[in-house]
Chains A and B, each alone.
Chain A
């Protein structure tokens, strides 16, 4: 019988199972246990939104609360990874990369290449991404493109509890540094998740809806909005194919190309700001590799080139909607060369 759990619980379960399987899997972060050094409840928080709640009771030696020093503890996780451990470091909000980026992009990302292929850095850096939480400009960004730009880093951003568990387990087992991006507005989203351990490979996109008329490419929260758009388009008799990238680096371009060969139309959706984002990257690659298959201009749906606003009235406008994606798909019919 299928069991439904939230994305939050899928993360918890993946870490739990990997910690049980492999004692070198450790995790560190701010308040991932909570209550440390105090006189009240131990394991008081389980992370700022309770994602790791309960893990400390099961794996007391494998979870470490840290001082509020991201440079030091993200770097510590990376150094431990280079020295035989398999650490997971929680960066809480991806926006905090600003204070520890050197350890990620000049250290972890570079070791393998720079040391002539002789180093392995099996670290996972988990962080919350995305807008919609009324958390304003410094706690809401979708910074996936910044990490995807860096060779040596793998970047994952799942949209379902099933993928989250499988991809996180795979990321922990992967021998390269992985930036694991969790959309905070999907934490409560529930779906079927097997209890047993399983993996979803990195670098494989998922076709979440088949269609012959137009291809919608998205990831994270936008994978849901793209499905919503496909539903709207179906009412107009347009059959959209929806691709959830799941992994941004490595990028499964083949699945996108195959789809575009069939549909001839492409809409790339991204919650990241529009300059140099995942959508522009996919668009450019498709234009280069499948120009002949395109029946229309490629469309992109992304937020405007602005920081994330606080006011709910503005934030709701900032985040691309299903209707905007459907409109973009329609434009490929209206303006395109049929």
Chain B
């Protein structure tokens, strides 16, 4: 094997690949099982966007917090949430990440710093300011680099008042908060450009007094590098930033979306030419750092994991009727 030209060790590269592949296979499996009628409710798939979640999350530890969106499976997996518990949750089963009470749109695991997928656009940004404030207090007490908090938001949801207010609050309080705009070009069926007047989120960030960076969100290494810089600055007390990841979504807005709003051939084109996983594989195998066989071994592992997750989710018991009224309050 050749010298490693990448800023990650071989083990780290393989780990990044495993996380991205897990997200991809998780989502592609859900796509099939949803169409088959196995899965209830609204399901928004992250396939195509994996490099953003993983490129950022590779820099995080459990004490760091993230707040996700309705399209949250990828953030969960990248942050280390248990895949079997996620699948059980999506099937509405006992033992799911939220005991079946939350579903796809609300998967959370606070032990991993994952503050939840969210059904309300923009809702994660203020919460992340809160997590960043708490991190700042913690850092003051214990010294050393601060934990950070990251809010993911779609291009569409970046027009919510909650999001815009949070940019300002984070800036005036100099919080270790990071705002990641996942720009996949669409909000539901509407193109990004219809709903957002400025072309550049860097300009928007500047208007709020935050440094901003735009990267190709399908390029794992570009995301990883930009996020690393921003996260390091936040950890050292340098305050909040905005990171725009330009990306593509491989499926409809939600499962069942006919996607007639796309241009002819668009889906085929992005799958053929903007597949972040394929680009990653080409880069690491092209540099002779990782072999095809090593990646294929991971693929087999991942497929086995997803298969086990689905089998266990299907076999898991339903919540008990008594669960309906538990966990509304700590005490009442």
CB distance from B242 to the nearest CB of A (A): 17
A57 to B100, CA, bound (A): 42
Asked if B141 CB lies within 8 Å of chain A CBs, one says: no
A304 touches B325 (CB 8 A): yes
- Could you tell me which residues of chain B, from 82 to 101, have a CB within 8 Å of some CB in chain A? 89, 92-93, 98, 100-101
A31 touches B159 (CB 8 A): no
B161 touches A39 (CB 8 A): no
CB distance from A303 to the nearest CB of B (A): 9
In the complex, which of the residues A36, A71, A95, A311 contacts B101, with contact meaning CB atoms closer than 8 Å?
A311
Asked if B311 CB lies within 8 Å of chain A CBs, one says: no
CB distance from B252 to the nearest CB of A (A): 11
- Could you tell me which residues of chain B, from 117 to 139, have a CB within 8 Å of some CB in chain A? 118-122
Q: Of residues B102, B106, B193, which shows the largest number of chain A Cβ atoms within 10 Å of its Cβ?
A: B102
Q: Do A312 and B260 contact each other (CB < 8 Å), given the known contacts A134-B103, A307-B328?
A: no
A136 to B263, CA, bound (A): 32
B189 touches A68 (CB 8 A): no
Using Cβ atoms and an 8 Å threshold, which residues of chain A touch B120? 95-96, 98-99, 138
A138 touches B105 (CB 8 A): yes
CB distance from A274 to the nearest CB of B (A): 12
Q: Which residue of chain A has the shortest Cβ distance to B94 in the bound complex?
A: A311
CB distance from A65 to the nearest CB of B (A): 6
B194 touches A65 (CB 8 A): yes
A67 touches B40 (CB 8 A): no
B40 touches A313 (CB 8 A): no
Using Cβ atoms and an 8 Å threshold, which residues of chain B touch A65? 190, 194-195
Contact pattern, B 147-188, Cβ under 8 Å of A = 1, otherwise 0: 000000000110111100000000000000000000000111
Q: Which residue of chain A has the shortest Cβ distance to B185 in the bound complex?
A: A38
CB distance from B220 to the nearest CB of A (A): 27
B188 touches A31 (CB 8 A): yes
Q: Do A306 and B328 contact each other (CB < 8 Å), given the known contacts A31-B189, A71-B161, A136-B106?
A: yes
Asked if A105 CB lies within 8 Å of chain B CBs, one says: no
Asked if B12 CB lies within 8 Å of chain A CBs, one says: no
Using Cβ atoms and an 8 Å threshold, which residues of chain B touch A31? 187-190
In the complex, which of the residues A66, A67, A95, A314 contacts B324, with contact meaning CB atoms closer than 8 Å?
A314
- Could you tell me which residues of chain A, from 51 to 87, have a CB within 8 Å of some CB in chain B? 65-72
A25 to B89, CA, bound (A): 44
Asked if A35 CB lies within 8 Å of chain B CBs, one says: yes
A317 touches B103 (CB 8 A): no
Using Cβ atoms and an 8 Å threshold, which residues of chain A touch B188? 30-31, 34, 45, 48
In the complex, which of the residues B102, B118, B260 contacts A310, with contact meaning CB atoms closer than 8 Å?
B102
- Could you tell me which residues of chain A, from 296 to 326, have a CB within 8 Å of some CB in chain B? 304-307, 309-314, 317-318
Asked if B42 CB lies within 8 Å of chain A CBs, one says: yes
Measured as residues with beta carbon below 8 angstroms from the partner, the interface class of chain B is 35 or more
- Could you tell me which residues of chain B, from 275 to 319, have a CB within 8 Å of some CB in chain A? 318-319
Q: Which residue of chain A has the shortest Cβ distance to B100 in the bound complex?
A: A311
B190 touches A311 (CB 8 A): no
- Could you tell me which residues of chain A, from 122 to 154, have a CB within 8 Å of some CB in chain B? 133-139
Asked if A200 CB lies within 8 Å of chain B CBs, one says: no
A133 touches B41 (CB 8 A): yes
Asked if A116 CB lies within 8 Å of chain B CBs, one says: no
- Could you tell me which residues of chain A, from 263 to 318, have a CB within 8 Å of some CB in chain B? 304-307, 309-314, 317-318
Using Cβ atoms and an 8 Å threshold, which residues of chain B touch A95? 119-120
Asked if B262 CB lies within 8 Å of chain A CBs, one says: yes
A45 to B258, CA, bound (A): 9
B187 touches A68 (CB 8 A): yes
B159 touches A67 (CB 8 A): yes
In the complex, which of the residues B41, B101, B324 contacts A317, with contact meaning CB atoms closer than 8 Å?
B324
Asked if A41 CB lies within 8 Å of chain B CBs, one says: yes
Asked if A40 CB lies within 8 Å of chain B CBs, one says: yes
A138 touches B190 (CB 8 A): no
A72 to B119, CA, bound (A): 19
Asked if B144 CB lies within 8 Å of chain A CBs, one says: no
CB distance from A4 to the nearest CB of B (A): 25
Asked if B214 CB lies within 8 Å of chain A CBs, one says: no
Q: Do A44 and B261 contact each other (CB < 8 Å), given the known contacts A99-B160, A311-B93?
A: yes
A67 touches B196 (CB 8 A): yes
A67 to B188, CA, bound (A): 11
Asked if B321 CB lies within 8 Å of chain A CBs, one says: yes
Asked if B323 CB lies within 8 Å of chain A CBs, one says: yes
Asked if A37 CB lies within 8 Å of chain B CBs, one says: yes
CB distance from B22 to the nearest CB of A (A): 23
Q: Which residue of chain B has the shortest Cβ distance to A309 in the bound complex?
A: B101
CB distance from A142 to the nearest CB of B (A): 16
- Could you tell me which residues of chain A, from 8 to 56, have a CB within 8 Å of some CB in chain B? 30-31, 34-41, 44-45, 48
Q: Which residue of chain B has the shortest Cβ distance to A42 in the bound complex?
A: B261
In the complex, which of the residues B40, B41, B324 contacts A304, with contact meaning CB atoms closer than 8 Å?
B324
Using Cβ atoms and an 8 Å threshold, which residues of chain A touch B118? 138
A235 to B122, CA, bound (A): 52
Which positions in A face B, CB cutoff 8 Å? 30-31, 34-41, 44-45, 48, 65-72, 95-96, 98-99, 133-139, 304-307, 309-314, 317-318
Q: Give 25 pairs: A residue, B residue, CB < 8 Å, sorted on A.
A: A30-B187, A35-B190, A35-B261, A37-B191, A38-B191, A39-B266, A41-B260, A45-B189, A67-B195, A67-B196, A68-B157, A70-B160, A99-B121, A134-B103, A136-B103, A136-B105, A138-B106, A306-B325, A309-B319, A310-B98, A310-B101, A311-B318, A313-B319, A314-B92, A314-B319
- Give 5 closest A-B pairs by Cβ, nearest first: A37-B194, A310-B103, A311-B92, A138-B119, A37-B191
